[in-house]
Amino acid sequence: MAPLLPIAEALTQVLARAPRLGAIAVPIAQAQGHILAHDLCADRDQPPFDRSAMDGVALRAADAAVGAVLPVVGTAAAGTPFADPLPQGACVRIFTGAVVPPEADSVVPVEQVTLHGDSCTLHAPCRPGQHVARQGSEVRAGGVVVAAGTVLTAARLGVAAAFGHAEVQVARRPRAAVVPTGDEVVAVTAAPGPGQIRDSNRYALAEILRQGGAEVVHMPVAADRADELHRALSSALRTADVIVTCGGVSAGDLDLVAPALRELGAEIHFHKIRIKPGKPLLFATIGDKVVLGLPGNPVSAAVCATLFALPLLAAMQGATATRWLLAGVPLALPLPATGPRDEVVPLVPVTAQGQLAVLPVATAGSADVFAFSRATWLGIRSAGGAALAAGESIDVVIWPQLP
């Protein structure tokens, strides 16, 4: 039996086969969370003029001395510049965001002056250039202000708008179909009979996929029969770019997803990887469609969706950063040695003596969805790893790693 793929290599395979989606134009007010398809450039210098960073008086630093009294010859407010030349030895009242008159080079904050109608006494020394944001000091006209492949976060939406991009080109959102499988799955509103479980995974998976930028299509639960799975998968393939099944991928006789996919002409790139929980994970492609076959266990399903579906969706949308960052953070409690698989550990960030640490959530086993739901971060440990003492580091999955 070939050795199972480590997590990192499985992710590499998924990313290598992610189909790239096309771009669409969206208004800036609806672009949040989208991946930008083209660079956005500055249509003018930023700041667009020498801009006052404070309320106070604008003057030539050479005219400023502690105790000096200067005539105030006018006012510069945001949107209303002082239009005349600034006479030698004079100052203008200026407000935050206003144009600094070209003859002035500095702003003395209002807290450091006394204003008496049309004159002003200075109470503090003035460093040339102080409190003036120079035109173009942040970016020059034509420079890239938001790069293609980045996700449009709040701050980037603001930058895009500041440079006049009322509409932006972004990757269209991937359509992701969620296909739960299994005879034992009953509706959330049903009272499960013996051996039955509720159709709960779809809600967790839909939210993970939505966070990855997908439009989620909910498909009915497919029963454990080859014909029904075939029908469900065919329908999902017609509807969606990504098909996320849940259940039916373990080693047993009722694990019908892989055969159904093969019958539909899919190429199965891996089925089972070196991960705990989530070993039965399956990854396949059919033409430009992608299938992630998640295990039915809720923790396995959520872990695999987080570690593989989020990067997949990012890659489909042309994101520059598609891999999570693995960064060592000290453990607040010890962990036992790992077994033959890479292990995913539910974590909560805490502080220990003021420093960031992570606390492993106590679980009743790797299928304990209730414990998993209390975690906010995930850690990854390699197979065959030694026990870790408190204070030793565990690799934490930092996602999204925005470029």
> Rule CB under 8 A: is residue 162 a binding residue for a copy of itself?
yes
> Rule CB under 8 A: is residue 234 a binding residue for a copy of itself?
no
> Rule CB under 8 A: is residue 67 a binding residue for a copy of itself?
no
Q: Helix, strand or coil for residue 175?
A: strand
Query: Which of residues 289 and 372 has its CB atom nearest to a copy of itself in the complex?
Result: 372
> Of 86, 206, 292, 331, which one interacts with a copy of itself (CB under 8 A)?
206
> Of 14, 36, 46, 120, which one interacts with a copy of itself (CB under 8 A)?
46
Least Å distance between CB 265 and a copy of itself? Answer: 26
Query: Which of residues 198 and 230 has its CB atom nearest to a copy of itself in the complex?
Result: 198
The footprint of a copy of itself on residues 210-229 (CB under 8 A) is: 210-211, 218, 224
Q: Which residues pair with 242 in a beta bridge?
A: 176, 290
The footprint of a copy of itself on residues 305-344 (CB under 8 A) is: 325-329
The footprint of a copy of itself on residues 261-290 (CB under 8 A) is: none
> Of 13, 96, 121, 382, which one interacts with a copy of itself (CB under 8 A)?
96
- Give CA–CA dist 209/122, Å, rounded: 59
> Rule CB under 8 A: is residue 354 a binding residue for a copy of itself?
yes
> Rule CB under 8 A: is residue 402 a binding residue for a copy of itself?
yes
The footprint of a copy of itself on residues 4-23 (CB under 8 A) is: none
Q: Which residues pair with 178 in a beta bridge?
A: 218, 244
> Of 85, 127, 141, 370, which one interacts with a copy of itself (CB under 8 A)?
370
- Are β-strands 289-294 and 242-246 bridged in parallel, bridged antiparallel, or unpaired? parallel
Q: What share of the chain is helix, strand, coil (3-state, %, to 5)?
A: 20, 35, 45
> Rule CB under 8 A: is residue 117 a binding residue for a copy of itself?
no
Q: Find the radius of gyration of the CA atoms of the chain.
A: 30
Ranges of H-type helices in 80-220: 154-162, 201-211
Cβ neighbors of 83 (< 8 A, separation 6 or more) are none
> Rule CB under 8 A: is residue 188 a binding residue for a copy of itself?
yes
- Give CA–CA dist 222/220, Å, rounded: 6
> Of 80, 84, 337, 386, which one interacts with a copy of itself (CB under 8 A)?
80
- Give CA–CA dist 205/385, Å, rounded: 30
> Rule CB under 8 A: is residue 110 a binding residue for a copy of itself?
yes
Query: Please, is 119 exposed, middle or buried when counting C-beta atoms within 10 Å of its C-beta (0-12, 13-18, 19+)?
Result: middle
State the SS3 of 5-31: ECHHHHHHHHHHCCCCCCEEEEEHHHC
Least Å distance between CB 168 and a copy of itself? Answer: 11
> Rule CB under 8 A: is residue 124 a binding residue for a copy of itself?
no
> Of 12, 153, 239, 382, which one interacts with a copy of itself (CB under 8 A)?
153
The stretch near a copy of itself (CB under 8 A) out of 3-11, 147-155, 236-244, 332-340 is 147-155
- Give CA–CA dist 261/290, Å, rounded: 11
Least Å distance between CB 280 and a copy of itself? Answer: 8
> Of 125, 376, 389, 390, which one interacts with a copy of itself (CB under 8 A)?
376
# residues contacting a copy of itself (CB under 8 A) = 116
Query: Which of residues 65 and 356 has its CB atom nearest to a copy of itself in the complex?
Result: 356
- Give CA–CA dist 210/219, Å, rounded: 15
- Give CA–CA dist 273/347, Å, rounded: 22
* Residues 326 and 395 sit within 8 Å (Cβ to Cβ): yes
Q: Which residues pair with 87 in a beta bridge?
A: none
